[in-house]
Amino acid sequence: MTLHKEGTATLLISGIGLLVLNLIIRHFLPEISWLHTLLLVASFVFYGLIVQFFRVPKRITVLNEKHIIAPADGKVVVIEEVVETEYFLGPRRQISIFMSPLNVHINFNPISGIVKYFKYHPGKYLVAWHPKSSTENERSTIVVQNNNGTEILFRQIAGAVARRLCWYVSEGQQVSQGQEFGFIKFGSRIDVFLPLDAKILCKINDKPVGGETVIAELV
């Protein structure tokens, strides 16, 4: 299994921390063998959960200019018409995908094109499914324009646990559909804002596969 580069420091620190904790318990409570066993098993389980969080899956993206690919694994929690107030300043169709700590947290470009806009916003750490998390939480906003001139906005949103957004794009950069554009550590959310006439191909509670599942289609 390949592990993501963003997990290097977390895995090292947590591994050393768990090792030290087990050694301390063995040193100060040597007679309680059942506690040693319980802590060791719990440490392996906990570390295993962290390792699986940073796994890098193999994804195959079928390139199509009309398709909007899911930017992340998770569950569709919002499909609605909203007024996008940062870039478009008008009505758009919003699809939101919530990522639990058990999901892969790599983020994938939903379309190919040129990055027309990027902005990072520091903010709060409301739970990721909170309606105000899209505008008040720590977040990054990216707009990509495809070859036909259609612009799609997608936004990384930190949650109550996730407090570090990572991105690998900048304005003017050419990006490819399905290519990794970022990573969010632990529970989080991604919003995608589409033209009103886009055909929505997913529904609430669907569980798309990032980089593969087509969640909408441009007309």
Tell me the per-residue pLDDT of 43-86, one tens digit each, with 9 for 90 and over: 999 988 888 878 888 899 999 999 999 999 999 999 999 999 99
Tell me the per-residue pLDDT of 168-217, one tens digit each, with 9 for 90 and over: 999 999 999 999 999 987 768 899 999 999 999 999 999 999 999 999 99
Per-residue model confidence (pLDDT) at position 6 = 86
CATH 2.70.70.10 correct for 67-217: yes
Per-residue model confidence (pLDDT) at position 118 = 97
Looking up tokens 């990509």 gives 144
Which one-letter DSSP state was computed for residue 209? Answer: P
For residue 29, is pLDDT > 90? no
Which one-letter DSSP state was computed for residue 3? Answer: B
Tell me the per-residue pLDDT of 150-171, one tens digit each, with 9 for 90 and over: 999 999 998 766 557 899 999 9
Mean pLDDT of 128-149: 80
Query: Helix or strand or coil: residue 204?
Result: coil
Mean pLDDT of 90-98: 96
Task: Reply yes or no on whether 188 is catalytic.
Answer: yes
In which band, very low, low, confident or very high, does the pLDDT at 101 lie, cut at 50, 70 and 90? confident
Per-residue model confidence (pLDDT) at position 42 = 94
Which H, E and C letters describe 83-146, residue by residue? EECCCCCEEEEEEEEEECCCCCCEEECCCCEEEEEEEEECCECCCCCCCCHHHHECEEEEEEEC
Could you tell me the strand order of the sheet in which 165-167 lies?
106-108, 180-184, 165-167
Query: Helix or strand or coil: residue 183?
Result: strand
pTM beyond cutoff 0.75: yes
Looking up tokens 């929690």 gives 77
Query: Helix or strand or coil: residue 175?
Result: strand
Per-residue model confidence (pLDDT) at position 127 = 63
